Structure 1
Amino acid sequence: MERRNSRDVLFESLVLEDRAVADIGCGDGGLARAIRRAGAARVIGVECSPRQLAKAGAAETVDGVVIIDGVAEALPILSGTMDVVVFFNSLHHVPPQHMAAAMAEAARALKSGGQLYCSEPLAQGPFYDLCKAVDDEKEVRGLAYRALHAAHAHGLHVERETVFVHTVKLRSFEAFRDRIISANSEREARFDAAEAALRVRFEDLGTRTDDGWTFDQPTRVTVLRKERREDWDLHAHARGV
């Protein structure tokens, strides 16, 4: 499997210049700011975790980037205003019962012909094996993938997919802890209860480098496009509507 950086794949896959982009589940807003610096006209980051929102609020301000409190299944974004909607390691965090609604909301927010970009970690590899002791996401990652391929019901059609190995870089075990619990505060107690065993697994599964540790994480990118208005008209004509 080819080794690539997840962010590099995003920037190589999308035309961002002068585009309106929404980053759903944006965390501390780091990717949203990077997308703006890459030439996007404006970026809306949507996040529901109070801990992540606090980090985003404490980070540097970048003109053209706004981070707002919200959820994927009820996006606080006007209809038909986004050129690109991004789910970057975040779709599987949407409650399973709301994943279909998240796809419908992404379709609503997108302009005709807009793109949905979804990068999701696969339930395999050393980093998954490390994390699953705290939160085994195999089921929800599978459900997220199925939601993407059912999104044609909302006018979103898969254009392409690619699978590669992303290298997760962590400076320390403490950085690993912060990464895991920032995404989901409910993990904190489970992490602390298993800390001794996790420290052993961290060193067993990771590769030591000069500036920390690395872990392989197989990743899949799925790119979907919203039907253009003329496509809808053709479908309606074919149905005799």
Structure 2
Amino acid sequence: MTSPHPIRRNSAVLLETLAVAGKTVVDVGSGDGANARLMAQAGATVIGLECQPRQLAKARAAPPVPGITYLDAGAEAMPLADSSADIVVFFNSLHHVAPSQMDRALAEAARVLTPGGTVFVSEPLAEGDFFEMVRPIEDETQVRAQAYAAMRAAHRHGLTMTAESVHRNPVLFKDFAAWRDRVASANPEREAIFDSMDRALRDSFDRLGRKTPEGIAFEQPTRVNLLKKERG
């Protein structure tokens, strides 16, 4: 059955949805800094918050792009002043916040936003070939549902949901080793799982992936939500 959702790259959706030029953007869970660099190159001043040392080191080691500051911080305690940002981005990161802290993270987003500011939340859905491949390593079905529930309850913090869309993000890897590096970077504890399940994971990678001129391709259905901070 053909999916009704369009194939669109996450990076394109981010830039097409948000007018970041001249804006102060907080990138929560900024990872290796890829999206921070993308937004800075589009004219934003970006503050990347990352609490995973391995990811933070990668971001700081990348070729510098003007307009980016990286801070060692989590979503539930943003070291930023009230009303100091125009946009807060949770890009595949809200479900990585501890469930008990998701509501707090959204409250923090509301606090640092200027009135009328925007929260952009991009979350992978618990479906698709990429999810099936990652599921033996860590099944995030429940935690992704909890993130969505927390977001839908964010009106208690003055955040009103204004848009929701779903697209299929194409995910490309040069090879199995590249996929392992990406998945383990987000959580070093996964290295042991890769070691213990190496053969099964390689078989899954080969079975679910599609060979393309650019690499081995997968699809990840992704939901994007926009929330607006109330004025006054």
TM over 0.5: yes
Deviations 1:191-230 (A, max 9, x none): 221111000000100001123200011000000000011x
1:224 aligns with 227
2:21 aligns with 17
Cα root mean square deviation, aligned: 0.7
**Could you tell me how far apart the structure 2 residues matched to 1:224 and 1:164 are?**
18
For the 8 Å contact 2:172–2:214, the answer to whether it is kept is no
2:88 aligns with 85
Q: 1:8 aligns with which of 5, 12, 16?
A: 12
Q: 1:192 aligns with which of 189, 195, 198?
A: 195
What does 1:116-195 align with in structure 2 at a 5 Å threshold? 116-195=119-198
For the 8 Å contact 2:121–2:226, the answer to whether it is kept is yes
1:57 aligns with 60
Amino acid at match of 2:10: S
**Could you tell me how far apart the structure 2 residues matched to 1:102 and 1:146 are?**
13
Structure 1: runs of 5 or more not aligned: 230-241
| Runs of 4+ in structure 1 over 3 Å off | none
Structure 2: runs of 5 or more not aligned: none
Shift of 1:15: 1.1
Q: Structure 2 length normalisation: TM-score? A: 0.97
Q: What is the number of equivalent residue pairs in this alignment?
A: 228
2:36 aligns with 32
**Could you tell me how far apart the structure 1 residues matched to 2:214 and 2:17 are?**
29
Q: Structure 1 length normalisation: TM-score? A: 0.93
SS at match of 1:27: coil
Deviations 1:139-171 (A, max 9, x none): 000000011100000000100000111100111
**Could you tell me how far apart the structure 2 residues matched to 1:161 and 1:188 are?**
34
Computing the radius of gyration from Cα coordinates, the structure with the larger value is 1
